[in-house]
Amino acid sequence: MNPAMTVVVLALIWAAITGTFSGLNLLLGAAIGIVAVLLLRKNLGPPRRFRQLRNAASLAALFLYELAASAVRVAIVVLTPDMKSALKPAIIAFPLSVKSDAEITLLANLITLTPGTLSVDVSEDRSLLYVHALNFGTREGLIADIAGGFEAKVREVYS
């Protein structure tokens, strides 16, 4: 999205949140949007193309499905009578193949809201993401799971 589009979208979101779509309110939203874009212009990436938007939508769909699955799985673990045997907590170092700040942030947030995993820390050279697993099976299985699922999708969105 270019900056002008961002301002328009921010103004529309502002109007939606405040609940009135009057001209004055839209102008106020646009003014706040311009301030936000000016403050953040260094962090805004290059313009998005349509294909990336479609990839982002498919990522969002996958995410909503995984979120529902993860909530159900946590609920099952919490409600098991002998919880100690259902738990095998571990912290695993996941080798990152995505490099930019935005990609790592997105991936870490996605990992936190998916079944059995929680991102804890990123190593200083940005090559490792430390992931806490609720029910640890094998190291290779967990890494392959993330690399083949979310990381591939995140890379598509930013490519």
Partner 1 sequence: MIAAIAIYAGCILLLLGALFSLIAAIGVVRLPDLYTRMHAASKAGAVGGGLVLLAVALLCFDVGVGLRAIIGFVFLLLTTPVSAHLLARASYRTTDQLQMKMVVDELKTKGGPNSAA
Contact by Cβ (8 Å): 135, 116: yes
Minimum separation from the CB atom of position 94 to partner 1 (A): 9
Minimum separation from the CB atom of position 87 to partner 1 (A): 6
Residue 14, both tokens: 């502002």
Residue among 92 and 96 whose Cβ is closer to partner 1: 92
Minimum separation from the CB atom of position 124 to partner 1 (A): 4
DSSP state of 46: S
For tokens 């403050």, the residue is 39
Amino acid at 59: L
Task: List contacts with partner 1 (CB under 8 A).
Answer: 13, 16-17, 19-20, 67-68, 70-71, 74-75, 77-79, 83-84, 87-93, 108-110, 112-113, 116, 118-121, 123-124, 128, 130, 132, 134, 136, 139
Contact by Cβ (8 Å): 77, 87: yes
